[in-house]
């Protein structure tokens, strides 16, 4: 990635597009390398249809030929739209020889992705009292301790699962209102954001307490997404409902954001830190723009401008930055998944 201070435009010839037959929301890059297809990477995409019957497709991306195609037999039905998809973050540490995909919606589900079939592994219900459970808004798979997945729910809880055994490790009432997102920092430390407008950090060694590191300036303005910088765990990013701002937080100085990125022309929907750099973050929103920002060591008086931008021409609902292929960012808008080379 070029570190120029000049704003540059990501050119469309550096992109690959997949057209789905339905609107797309959830997306995930796999880090798994198949011995049969070592050049190709898998990408999972989930439909967003406001009814029970939804789909997840597994695509094959060939970086040399710049082709992106659905893999026959690796499409499967999913109850309700998946709110998030994520492949096993550390396949070499997995107990399985195949790739594992997790999805959230009504329940947390794990799927084994074989060469030519998908096998359901677990359906995990976080309600202790009923077979029905409150919808899951998001989840995060712990890279350092990959047996752990944390889920967030509209019932104000976060649930930590041991997905190797298929059992709940712990469940916490995390917020006063719906929890919209969760992110791991360390093996036993996670953070969450909520409709109550707060970012809270939890340590599994002391479950009774949490640390509030940010609250919305306007009371009860929901925080929708949370991204924890894996390259520098001091930094997090969050977005507010119906706001064009990305708020950058330093957990050492709670309450006061270290930066607010305000160049989107409409609400921001998604954020993703660069997997290889602690100072770059991508954002996307209803203005159809995907912006890449380089965070300065010291913010100037006039705010921060993005270093590069891409116009999708439609509201962008989701972004993912590939940890395995770090030059590629995926954006979802309408019924399209587009890969951008950065």
Among 202, 228, 254, which residue terminates a domain? 228
Question: How many structural domains comprise the chain?
Answer: 2
Q: In this structure, are 106 and 118 located in the same domain?
A: yes
The 10s digit of each residue's pLDDT in 229-261 is: 999 999 999 999 999 999 999 999 887 899 999
Q: In this structure, are 88 and 135 located in the same domain?
A: no
pTM of structure = 0.94
Among 228, 251, 268, which residue terminates a domain? 228
Q: Is residue 319 part of a domain?
A: no
Residue with tokens 């587009």: 338
Q: What CATH number should be reported for the domain holding residue 168?
A: 2.120.10.30
Q: With CA atoms as reference, report the closest residue to 118 among 102, 131, 106.
A: 102
The 10s digit of each residue's pLDDT in 79-90 is: 999 999 999 998
Buried b / exposed e along 189-205 (16+ C-beta atoms within 10 A): bbbbbbbbbbbbbbebe
Q: What tokens appear for 1 in the block? A: 């990635």
Q: What pLDDT sits at residue 6?
A: 40
DSSP assignment of 170-198, as one string? Answer: EEEE--SS-EEEEEEEETTEEEEEETTSE
Q: In this structure, are 32 and 109 located in the same domain?
A: yes
Q: In this structure, are 120 and 46 located in the same domain?
A: yes
Among 199, 228, 257, which residue terminates a domain? 228
Q: Is residue 284 part of a domain?
A: no
The 10s digit of each residue's pLDDT in 288-328 is: 999 999 998 776 667 899 999 999 999 999 999 999 889 99
Q: In this structure, are 97 and 138 located in the same domain?
A: no
Q: Which residues contact 49 (CB under 8 A, 6 or more apart)?
A: 22, 23, 81
Q: Is residue 276 part of a domain?
A: no
Residue 117 lies in domain: 13-124
Q: What pLDDT sits at residue 92?
A: 81
Query: Phi/psi zone of residue 281: left (φ > 0), alpha (ψ -120 to 50 degrees), beta?
Result: beta
């Amino acid at each position: 990635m070029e570190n120029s201070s000049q704003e540059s435009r990501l050119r469309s010839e550096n992109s690959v597009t997949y057209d789905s037959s339905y609107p797309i929301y959830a997306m995930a890059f796999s880090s798994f390398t198949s011995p049969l297809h070592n050049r190709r990477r898998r990408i999972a995409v989930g439909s967003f249809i406001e009814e029970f019957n939804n789909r997840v497709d597994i695509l094959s991306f060939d970086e040399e030929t710049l082709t992106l195609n659905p893999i026959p037999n690796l499409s499967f039905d999913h109850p309700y739209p998946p709110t998030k998809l994520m492949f096993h973050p550390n396949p070499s540490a997995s107990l399985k020889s195949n790739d594992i995909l997790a999805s959230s919606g009504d329940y947390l589900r794990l799927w084994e992705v074989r060469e030519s079939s998908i096998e359901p592994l677990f359906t995990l219900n976080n309600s202790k009292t009923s077979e029905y459970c409150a919808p899951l808004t998001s989840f995060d798979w712990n890279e350092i301790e990959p047996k752990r997945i944390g889920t967030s729910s509209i019932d104000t809880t976060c649930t930590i699962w041991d997905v190797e055994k298929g059992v709940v490790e712990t469940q916490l009432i995390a917020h006063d209102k719906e929890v919209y997102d969760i992110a791991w920092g360390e093996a036993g430390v996670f953070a969450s954001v909520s409709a109550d407008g707060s970012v809270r950090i939890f340590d599994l060694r002391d479950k009774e307490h949490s640390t509030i590191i940010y609250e919305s300036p306007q009371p009860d303005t929901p925080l929708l997404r949370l991204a924890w910088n894996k390259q520098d765990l001091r930094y997090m990013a969050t977005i507010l409902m119906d706001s064009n701002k990305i708020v950058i937080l330093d957990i050492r100085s709670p309450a006061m954001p270290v930066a607010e990125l305000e160049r989107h022309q409409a609400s921001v929907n998604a954020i993703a830190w660069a997997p290889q750099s602690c100072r770059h973050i991508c954002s996307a929103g209803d203005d159809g723009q995907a912006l890449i920002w380089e965070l300065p060591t010291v913010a100037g008086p006039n705010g921060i401008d993005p270093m590069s931008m891409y116009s999708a021409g439609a509201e962008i609902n989701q972004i993912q930055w590939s940890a395995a292929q770090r030059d590629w960012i995926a954006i979802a808008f309408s019924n399209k998944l587009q890969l951008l080379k950065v």
